[in-house]
Amino acid sequence: MKTKISINIISIFLFLFSTTVHSDGRVAVRGHNGAVASSSYTASQVGVEVLKKGGNAVDAAVATAFAMAVTHPTAGNIGGGGFLVYHGVDGEITAFDFREKAPLSSSKDMYLDEEGKVINNSIGPENHFSIRAVGVPGTVAGLALAHERLGTMDWSDLVVPSVLLARNGIPITWKLHDDFNSDRRKAWFGEYPSSVEKFYKKTSNLLDEGGAEYMPGDIWKQEDLAKTLERIQDKGKDGFYKGETAKLIADYMKQNGGLITLEDLEKYNAVERTPIVNDYRGHTIVSMPPPSSGGIILSEMLNILEGYDLNQIGHNSAQYLHLLTESMRRAYADRANYLGDPDFNEDMPIEKLLSKEHAADLRGSINTEMKSESDPALFAQAYESEETTHFSVVDKKGNMVSLTYTLEFGYGSHIVVGGAGFLLNNEMGDFNAIPGLTNASGRIGTTPNQIRPEQRMLSSMTPTIVAKNGIPLFATGTPGGKTIINTTMQTILNVVDHGMTIAESIEAPRIHHQWLPDVTSFEKIGISPDTRKMYESLGHKIRIRNSIGSAMGVYRDPETGVISGAADSRAEDGGVAAY
């Protein structure tokens, strides 16, 4: 198969030297015509090249997403799923749900042994660490649906840059080197010959000391992935869910004890949904609806905090952090009790959760002088991996896209489909594995997120766009598992309540609380010891972490039209491209 060179490799590399790029975080990259902020410099640059050729924000998002499947394999993907939120300068808003689905042969107790406990294999719990943990991928279908609805450029032109990047190769960065070669990752990849073939040189046996590692600066070529992307380039969604790629997936599953069949792939559909819309201090918050919990829980926390003068209280003061924590505590409790896939849970009380009255009731239960207690009998949180990725896009007209997608764990299941060259997710672990069991250790067994065939698993991904007077103002989002919603909220508060730039809002220190475990995560740098002591005096327990999340944002000044993009310095290979 011959690649169509509408955007050729020469133009891409010339572009790398002509586009404004910045990685320091606190100072935004600016332009007049468009920007992309992502966890991959190269992918951001591919997206802006599309904008330069006349594409809109959706076109750029499609090209960026496919490029990240090549350049950012820890979470960029065609074997996973996610969510896209769109806000047009004309006021149109919509959301695309391409979350993975449970295979047709799955069941609510599929991971349990005779004693009702989750089965463990040599690596770990089977619902996270096995080929049976793979959900039916949604990314290609979601990108195709968004392009069909809102794209303007030829689909082939949007996919070909990723084909060329895979075939011609990309330089191994220090981050990629470190990711590929941790002891745990070597062991996990080592379970699957197709994964070893992708991530290590062919000049030695498996993982001995004969020099199998790719070193920083080496050129990493992914020919099988290039061929898979070429089929998508030529046939769109059918190039993945039907034909050769689908057969490679189904055959690999059958040979290795997986569940996904040709029927699962042919039946998969992405869904266009109505976004969650909420007002906060004169701004319109547009975010993702279920099966993402992000939009609802983000809005619920903002509604609670709207009753306080946060600017007067002071950014990241002890009292401010206390109020954030108590808002997080209450909203995450509602998340556990009520939310799941809307196609399987028709009675979710979404209207109530979004109401200002519900927020007022929750606000009334907050003691400003003392922390609340958590009840593990009611509200526990299932584990959700933090290895996701997010990017934000704005085009010349001011249309914005906020997109978050994932493989679940970093590198997902660590399983590469033989002959197809891409990683599979392990998203089935986001379901409640033991129905009915909820405990203080973080296990959750509530009904809305139990496994059912074709159900989409609950997620915390929170792609969000903030508008003012009907015009999109900024787009934001982040990876980070359960921390995603809180990071997104804090970036919004930083802009709306504290007057920060998009770059300052992303770089500011963050905290995280999710009801259980009843402990607040603080970033190691940025919040003073004195503030921590005052916060702890209110009864809170603190855990110190290196970082929380890795936000990516774009902002368009409604008066001047100047565009600012910011890539979180917490993302080692992240970057902004703008022009």
**What amino acid positions are annotated as catalytic residues?**
388
Given a contact cutoff of 8 angstroms between Cβ atoms, the answer to whether 560 and 16 are in contact is: no
Are 418 and 72 in contact by the 8 Å Cβ rule? The answer is no
Task: Give the separation between CA 45 and CA 450, rounded to whole angstroms.
Answer: 40
Backbone phi, psi, residue 324, to 5°: -60, -45
Which residue pairs from 20-24 have beta carbons closer than 8 angstroms and sit at least 24 positions apart in sequence? 20/576, 20/577, 20/578, 20/579, 21/45, 21/575, 21/576, 21/577, 22/567, 22/575, 22/576, 23/567, 23/569, 23/574, 23/575, 23/576, 24/569
The amino acid present at 346, given as its one-letter code, is E
Q: Rounded distance, CA 252 to CA 162, Å?
A: 24
The radius of gyration computed from the CA coordinates of the chain, to the nearest angstrom, equals 22
The CA distance from 422 to 240, in Å, is 11
Please, are residues 273 and 289 in contact by the beta-carbon 8 Å criterion?
yes
d(CA 53, CA 162): 16
50 within 8 A of 151, measured Cβ to Cβ: no
Single-letter amino acid code for the residue at 254? K
